[in-house]
Amino acid sequence: SVPETLLEVSGIEAGYGKIAVLHGIDMRIAPGEVVSLLGPNGAGKTTLLRAIAGLLPWTAGSVRFDGRDMRDAGPRESARAGLVHVIEGHRVFTQISVTDNLLLAAYDLPRRERAARIEEVLETFPEIAAKRHDKGGALSGGQQQMLAVAQGLIRRPRLLMLDEPSAGLSPVLVDRVLAVVSDLRAAGTAVLLVEQLIEKALAVSDRVYAMAQGRIVLEAKANEADLPHRLERAYFGQD
Ligand code: ATP
């Protein structure tokens, strides 16, 4: 049976050395759900994604993924368990081909599955498939961003965490990347999306959390009336 909760974050506290950044974060994501994580610069969104992905140790609280305690998992184990993190401004290897970039992302999959998985993700991104033999550096910024997402998808994650996938993209390419998020949702893949483009993020999301100063200050369904206005007030601490 499908568990109701895929990711359960409870009371997470984390930071950098003596600097506390996350002050007790609670968050849930159901299988196949698209959830936006919004908030002003410095709110702690990237730090939360890093903690969930096993890149940053937390000092209190717990992360459960697919029923499993992720305390000692680390980034590799997390990715193997189906929790994949595409970092902000991820840059692909510019001197090797698109296909080789994908092959690198597939390095720990069984050898016999790699080629099929590469074809699978290339089908999702026709604009990259057309350039599969080109070097990564020959792709536009938007295409490189798509290749970064494709590298994440090659493991068929159950939860894909995207940190500002629209950063530096033209409006048309932003729409294209967010259309991929909608496709993932339709295919049953859960997504945790950090975005600055509030309206666009809400348009592809089921639910939303807003953070400010290391705390969750709002949780809502993405289609709730007046949400952009409520979000703005939550950001500035008047909600
Ligand atoms: P942005 O949209 O600007 O990335 P964010 O919500 O993702 O914002 P974080 O990047 O998580 O916020 O930053 C939260 C806080 O942690 C900020 O005060 C930031 O200065 C601090 N911080 C981030 N990375 C480090 C680091 N490596 N060392 C020390 N402090 C850091």
Q: Which of 18, 47, 55 to mutate to test the pocket of ligand 1 (most atoms within 8 A of CB)?
A: 47
ipTM here: 0.94
* Distance separating alpha carbons of residues 186 and 178, to the nearest angstrom: 13
How far, in Å, are 29, 67, 69, 77 from residue 2 at the CA level?
Answer: 13, 11, 18, 21
What is the reported pLDDT for 235? Answer: 82
Q: Which of 12, 16, 195 to mutate to test the pocket of ligand 1 (most atoms within 8 A of CB)?
A: 16
What is the Rg, in whole angstroms, of the alpha carbon atoms belonging to the chain? 18
What is the reported pLDDT for 2? Answer: 54
With a 6 Å cutoff on the Cβ, whether 142 touches ligand 1 is no
Q: DSSP character for 26? A: E
Check if the beta carbon of residue 54 is closer than 8 Å to that of residue 81: no
With a 6 Å cutoff on the Cβ, whether 15 touches ligand 1 is no
What is the reported pLDDT for 31? Answer: 95
Residue identifier of the C-alpha nearest atom 15 of ligand 1? 42
For residue 42, the CA-to-ligand 1 centroid distance in Å is: 5
For residue 231, the CA-to-ligand 1 centroid distance in Å is: 20
What is the reported pLDDT for 54? Answer: 93
Comparing CA positions, the residue from 85, 55, 61, 16 lying closest to residue 216 is 61
Q: Which two tokens stand for residue 100?
A: 């080789």
What is the reported pLDDT for 89? Answer: 67
Q: Which two tokens stand for residue 5?
A: 């909760």
With a 6 Å cutoff on the Cβ, whether 19 touches ligand 1 is yes
pLDDT in tens, the chain (239 residues): 555 899 999 999 999 999 999 999 999 999 999 999 999 999 999 999 999 999 999 999 999 999 999 998 988 899 889 999 988 766 789 999 999 999 999 988 898 999 999 999 999 888 899 999 999 999 988 888 889 999 999 989 999 999 998 887 888 888 888 998 999 999 999 999 999 899 999 999 999 999 999 999 999 999 998 898 898 888 877 55
* Distance separating alpha carbons of residues 114 and 106, to the nearest angstrom: 6
Comparing CA positions, the residue from 205, 213, 212 lying closest to residue 227 is 205
* Distance separating alpha carbons of residues 77 and 54, to the nearest angstrom: 8
Rounded to 5 degrees, φ, ψ at 13 are -120, 130
What is the reported pLDDT for 91? Answer: 74
Residue identifier of the C-alpha nearest atom 29 of ligand 1? 16
Complete DSSP assignment for 12-70: EEEEETTEEEEEEEEEEE-TT-EEEEE--TTSSHHHHHHHHTTSS--SEEEEEETTEE-
Check if the beta carbon of residue 132 is closer than 8 Å to that of residue 157: no
- Helix (H), strand (E) at residue 178: helix 171-186
With a 6 Å cutoff on the Cβ, whether 18 touches ligand 1 is no
Check if the beta carbon of residue 94 is closer than 8 Å to that of residue 146: no
Atom nearest to 48 CA in ligand 1: 11
* Distance separating alpha carbons of residues 177 and 52, to the nearest angstrom: 23
Q: Which of 12, 19, 37 to mutate to test the pocket of ligand 1 (most atoms within 8 A of CB)?
A: 19
* Distance separating alpha carbons of residues 220 and 178, to the nearest angstrom: 20
